[in-house]
Amino acid sequence: MSGTEVSAEQVGMLVLIGAPGAGKSTVGRRLANRLSLPFVDVDQLIEQTSGREIADIFATDGEATFRELERAATVAALAGSEEQVVSLGGGAPMTEAIAEALAPHHVVWLKVSPGAAADRVGLNVARPLLLGNVRSRLVSLLNARTPTYQRLADHVVETDDHGADDIVELIIEHRRELERR
C-alpha cells in the first residue's frame, strides 16, 4: 500500500480513551482519515443530538444528567463491530456499562501527564470538570482514572513527547503488528 491511505482490512473498531487533553479528538479524526474509516467523537455526538454544549448540560442539569446522556450515546456507538474510530469522553470509561461495552474492541489509551494536558487545554471553559486550577484538577482526575484506563486498554501510547501525527503513525504501526500475528 502506498500513499497516505492505509488498508482498513481487519482493523475493527478502534476506540481512543484518555484524560482531557490527551488528544482523543485530534488523533481520532486524523487516524480515521488515514484509515479511511468513519469517525465518531462521542462528546460531539452528544452535543449534536442534544443541541446543547456539554458545558451547558453540566451547568444546568448537573454531571449525573450528562453521565446518563454519555452512557446512552457511548454504548450505542460501541454496539456492533463496524469499522470505525471512536473517541470517548475523558470520563466515559468510569461508567461500568461503558467499560463493559469496550470489551470486544481495540482500545488505545492516549496517556498524558497532568502538566502536558494542562498546557494543551489551557483555560478552555468548554471543559467543565477543569474549572479552577486546571493542573490540580487534572492531577485528581488522573489519580482517580489511571487504574481504569490501564485496565481497559489493549495498547498504551505515551503522548507527552509526540505530536498528534506521530501518534497516529504509532497506532497504525501497532495495528499492523497485530494483523501480522
Ligand X SMILES: Nc1ncnc2c1ncn2[C@@H]1O[C@H](COP(=O)(O)OP(=O)(O)OP(=O)(O)O)[C@@H](O)[C@H]1O
Least Å distance between CB 119 and ligand X? 8
Binding site for ligand SKM (CB under 6 A): 20, 43, 54, 89-91, 127-129
Residue of 120, 127, 130, 124 whose CA lies nearest to 164: 120
47 binds ligand X (CB under 6 A): no
Least Å distance between CB 38 and ligand SKM? 19
Q: Is 21 annotated as a binding residue?
A: yes
44 binds Mg ion (CB under 5 A): no
Nearer of residues 11 and 121 to ligand SKM, judged by Cβ: 121
Q: In what order do the strands lie in the sheet with 106-111?
A: 39-41, 85-87, 14-17, 106-111, 155-158
Interacting residue ranges for ligand X, rule: CB under 6 A: 18, 20-26, 43, 90, 120-121, 127, 159, 162-164, 167
